[in-house]
Amino acid sequence: MATPEIFPAYTKVWHSEPYPAISPTKPELSARGKVVIITGGGTGIGAGAAKAFAQAGAAGIGIIGRRENFLISSVADISAVSSSTKVEYAVADLTNKRATEAAFKKLANSLGKIDIFISNAGWLSKVAPLTDSEDDDWWASFDINVKGSFNAIRAFLPYAAPNATLLSINTAIATLPPMPGFSAYAASKIASAKMHEYLQAEHPELRVVNVQPGVVKSDMNIKSGFPAMDDRKSTYHNRLEAPLTLYS
């Protein structure tokens, strides 16, 4: 089955490569003195965001993930970007409440109060029709994207600095018309987005933002069957370059 067309972007200009206005080295975008914590920081968007905050001069960056080998590699990459940034990691499965609390406590004790928390860890279940999906794999999207985010929010709040920012990495698929095969991912991500909206309403001292980053080159985008939109010369305003077969 081919994917539906990608709907027009909400912005007038579509960027597929970094551009000067968003450069982390711009003084206006400085993160100097800030402590940043990122879940899913060992690979993909999380690792890339960590390096960008190091370029922006963050005082401390803490990354959390399940796979220690990827975290260790990411710490080395981040440290290579900025020798003045203190970088730490903590291993935790976000579906485990106690492990998540311990990870945030460890990083906050080492780095200080958290100014910016990027809730990035996520799971994409196997792309398949709802009725053909494997039960445990389908529900894994909710375990990680909803329960994991819930645990991370609760673990973050005791260590949040005044006027802290929480960026939740979400997806446009959650708000677009149904794309066959993505029911678990879309449903769990719209639940996560609504949960973060409630967090903002109940904690006005925070700044909570749901972010839709597009299809970024990562293990998840490979699993999805969509080509990455970053670092490409082609335009994605209206549709993918060619139909993709996600499942037969």
* pLDDT at residue 191 is higher than 80: yes
Nearest to 174 by CA among 202, 197, 203, 151: 197
In the chain, how many domains are there?
Answer: 1
User: Distance (Å, rounded) from C-alpha 91 to C-alpha 98?
Assistant: 12
Q: Would you state the structure tokens that stand for residue 98, as one six-digit string? A: 């106690």
For residue 225, is it within any domain? no
CATH number of the domain at 48, please: 3.40.50.720
Residue 32 is given by DSSP the state B
If DSSP states are collapsed to H, E and C, what string results for 107-127? HHHHHCCEEEEEECCCCCCCC
Q: Tens digits of per-residue pLDDT, 94-152? A: 999 999 999 999 999 999 999 999 999 988 888 888 999 899 999 999 999 999 999 99
For residue 9, is it within any domain? no
CA 9 from chain centre, in angstroms, equals: 20
User: Distance (Å, rounded) from C-alpha 151 to C-alpha 64?
Assistant: 13
pTM for the whole structure: 0.84
Q: Tens digits of per-residue pLDDT, 63-89? A: 999 999 999 999 999 999 999 999 999
For residue 98, is it within any domain? yes
For residue 201, is it within any domain? yes
For residue 177, is it within any domain? yes
For residue 127, is it within any domain? yes
User: Distance (Å, rounded) from C-alpha 218 to C-alpha 144?
Assistant: 17
* pLDDT at residue 26 is higher than 50: yes
Predicted pLDDT of residue 224: 53
Helix spans in the chain (H): 44-55, 68-81, 97-111, 135-142, 149-156, 183-202, 219-224
Tell me the β-bridge partners of 63: 38, 89
For residue 190, is it within any domain? yes
Q: Would you state the structure tokens that stand for residue 237, as one six-digit string? A: 């305003």
For residue 25, is it within any domain? no
Q: Which domain holds residue 82?
A: 30-219
Phi, psi of 199 (to 5 degrees): -60, -45
Task: Please give the mean pLDDT across all residues of the chain.
Answer: 85
